[in-house]
Amino acid sequence: MDLPSPQLAWIDGQPLPAPGGATFATVDPSTEEVLAEVARCGEEAVDTAVAGARRAFPGWRDLAPPERAGRIRAVARALAGRAEEFARLETLDTGKPLSLARSEVDGTVRYLDYYAGLADKIHGESIPLGPGYLNYTVHEPVGVTGHIVPWNAPLNMVGRSLGPALAAGNTAVVKPAEQTPLTALRFGALCREAGLPDGVYQVVPGFGTEAGAALAAHPGIDSLTFTGSVATGRAVARACADRIRPVVLELGGKSPQLVFADADLDTVAAEVAKGIFTNTGQFCDAGSRLLVEESVREALVERLVARAHAVDCGPGGDDPDMGPLISAEQRDRVRGFLARGEAEGARRLGPGPESVPGRGYFVPPTVFTGVRPDMAIAREEIFGPVLCVQGFRDEAEAIALANDTSYGLAAGIHTRDLDRAHRLAAALEAGYVMINEYFTGGIGSPFGGWKESGIGHERGLEAVHNYTRLKNVVVRVAR
């Protein structure tokens, strides 16, 4: 693949080196080889990007909404036309299987189309005050929006927050993760070719503590959308607090999948395996805790361990079932949890380390049984293909176990009993509940976490209001 190095920032419709020409390397996690050097942006580059986005804002805001929609749709069509190229680039930079990268690029196209369709439907209401008054609300764009994006679904997450931000009439400055900057950067050039005005989409690649922190603290951004770890979420929320600036936080989880004895175990095994092994477990809503009714626990674990043995691990470009983790750091972190789980007395099942390629950041799919609620593996987000199994005797115990976590992002329920499914959906402390199919829903379904999993929602109609501010206008009409 044609990959010029260094890869430059994308600012005001042009590639731009970081001041002083500083760079960092992005790596292919399947091979551990450097793919390209990338501009290492800091405060100065972020300043330039924010200033450009500010200049571009009035022109973009003042386009007639159908025109703005058309411009976003043109970007969507351009991406759809080059979907394979972007999927291959994403696979190189993340190590994820090509089919998964393809579906994420397709999802990015759909985000853009979905929110383009909203651009001319962001309307307020009129409030009756009686004769002599007119009272109405307007949803205005906030201005320059900041987006700090993680590495687990890089371009897809750009699309998720960029779509509503642009549709509402804002401009955007995006800080991709240092592990995966390539697709967000190439998307800049694609936007220009598709006719998006310069400065509407700016990209400042770099490290979290440099470009990320500079963007979060910048006085020139009017909102911030962050997806990543709880610790970094706290840091960016503090920076936003200092400026009384709205922030959306999407911070991962420890999501349970609850399985009752009446469910079809073969179907459930497929859903549970999908929920934890897809993307090598690196999804914020990965179903990382299996809570299963005691009477079927052994039968389900047997099926899951068989599935773990059947997972074929390899370089993303070969389109295996499971690729590597994103980095040596994440691999070591997951290995640390595997060792800790064993040390704390849980039983580790599934293929051993010899089953995965020696080169690349691979870890084997793993199932832990004998997990107690106080163990680190039961409480902390592992962000790897590691499933922790706990049994329960009745509904009350299932609910107590499910809610015994500081997180509250997603939950899966598997049962054929409709009443029970809805009782549980009401009792679970999670922002997103899926019944009898994991990762179900999609772009139109509001997605956001409770508790330490975050603040606010992405996806769906409501997400557009992450990027608007409400104005109420009251008129005394003379008689």
- Active-site option among 178, 210, 250, 271: 250
| Contact partner, 213, from Mg ion, ligand NAI, none, Cβ < 5-8 Å per class | ligand NAI
Listed residue (471, 462, 461) closest to 127, CA to CA = 471
**Residue number, 9 or 27, with CB nearest to Mg ion:** 27
Strands (E), 321-377: 347-349, 366-369
- What whole-number distance in Å separates Cα of residue 379 and Cα of residue 345? 15
For 237, residues 6+ apart whose C-beta sits below 8 A from its C-beta are 226, 247, 249, 455
Alpha helix stretches (DSSP H) within 18-147: 43-61, 65-81, 83-94, 98-116
- What whole-number distance in Å separates Cα of residue 217 and Cα of residue 215? 5
Does the footprint of ligand NAI cover residue 284 (CB under 6 A)? Answer: yes
User: Which stretch in 72-80, 207-215, 255-263, 308-316 sits in contact with ligand NAI by CB under 6 A?
Assistant: 207-215
Does the footprint of Mg ion cover residue 90 (CB under 5 A)? Answer: no
| Contact partner, 71, from ligand NAI, Mg ion, none, Cβ < 5-8 Å per class | none
Which DSSP category does 211 fall into?
I
Binding mask 247-266 for ligand NAI (x = CB under 6 A): ---xxx--------------
- The three-state secondary structure class of 26 is strand
Is there a cis peptide before residue 373, judged by omega within 30 degrees of 0?
A: no
User: Which stretch in 12-20, 142-150, 303-311, 314-322 sits in contact with ligand NAI by CB under 6 A?
Assistant: 142-150
Amino acid found at 90: E
The CB-of-247 to ligand NAI minimum distance in angstroms stands at 11
> Are 402 and 291 within 8 A, CB to CB?
yes
- Active-site option among 284, 313, 381, 388: 284
171: region left, alpha or beta (phi > 0 left; psi from -120 to 50 alpha): beta
| Contact partner, 284, from ligand NAI, Mg ion, none, Cβ < 5-8 Å per class | ligand NAI
Does the footprint of ligand NAI cover residue 281 (CB under 6 A)? Answer: no
Listed residue (154, 122, 149) closest to 224, CA to CA = 149
- The three-state secondary structure class of 152 is coil
Pairing of strands 366-369, 256-259: unpaired
Q: Which of residues 150-179 bind Mg ion (CB under 5 A)?
A: 179
The CB-of-91 to Mg ion minimum distance in angstroms stands at 10
Which DSSP category does 324 fall into?
-
The CB-of-472 to ligand NAI minimum distance in angstroms stands at 34
Does the footprint of ligand NAI cover residue 149 (CB under 6 A)? Answer: yes
**Using CB under 5 A, which of 23, 26, 145, 280 touches Mg ion?**
26
For 241, residues 6+ apart whose C-beta sits below 8 A from its C-beta are none
> Are 44 and 215 within 8 A, CB to CB?
no
User: Which stretch in 17-25, 147-155, 364-372, 435-443 sits in contact with ligand NAI by CB under 6 A?
Assistant: 147-155
- What whole-number distance in Å separates Cα of residue 104 and Cα of residue 100? 6
**Residue number, 214 or 268, with CB nearest to ligand NAI:** 214
**Using CB under 6 A, which of 29, 97, 181, 208 touches ligand NAI?**
208
The CB-of-183 to ligand NAI minimum distance in angstroms stands at 13
Does the footprint of Mg ion cover residue 93 (CB under 5 A)? Answer: yes
For 34, residues 6+ apart whose C-beta sits below 8 A from its C-beta are 25, 26, 27, 28
**Using CB under 6 A, which of 36, 39, 213, 421 touches ligand NAI?**
213
**Residue number, 87 or 251, with CB nearest to ligand NAI:** 251
Does the footprint of ligand NAI cover residue 46 (CB under 6 A)? Answer: no
Beta bridge partners of 9: 16
- What whole-number distance in Å separates Cα of residue 318 and Cα of residue 275? 21
- What whole-number distance in Å separates Cα of residue 292 and Cα of residue 259? 5
| Contact partner, 152, from ligand NAI, Mg ion, none, Cβ < 5-8 Å per class | ligand NAI
**Using CB under 6 A, which of 93, 222, 271, 381 touches ligand NAI?**
381
250 is an active site residue? yes
284 is an active site residue? yes
The CB-of-360 to Mg ion minimum distance in angstroms stands at 12
Contact residues for ligand NAI, defined by CB under 6 A: 148-150, 152, 175, 177-178, 207-209, 212-213, 216, 227-229, 232, 235-236, 250-252, 284, 330, 333, 381, 383
Name the residues annotated as catalytic: 250, 284
Contact residues for Mg ion, defined by CB under 5 A: 26-27, 93, 179-180
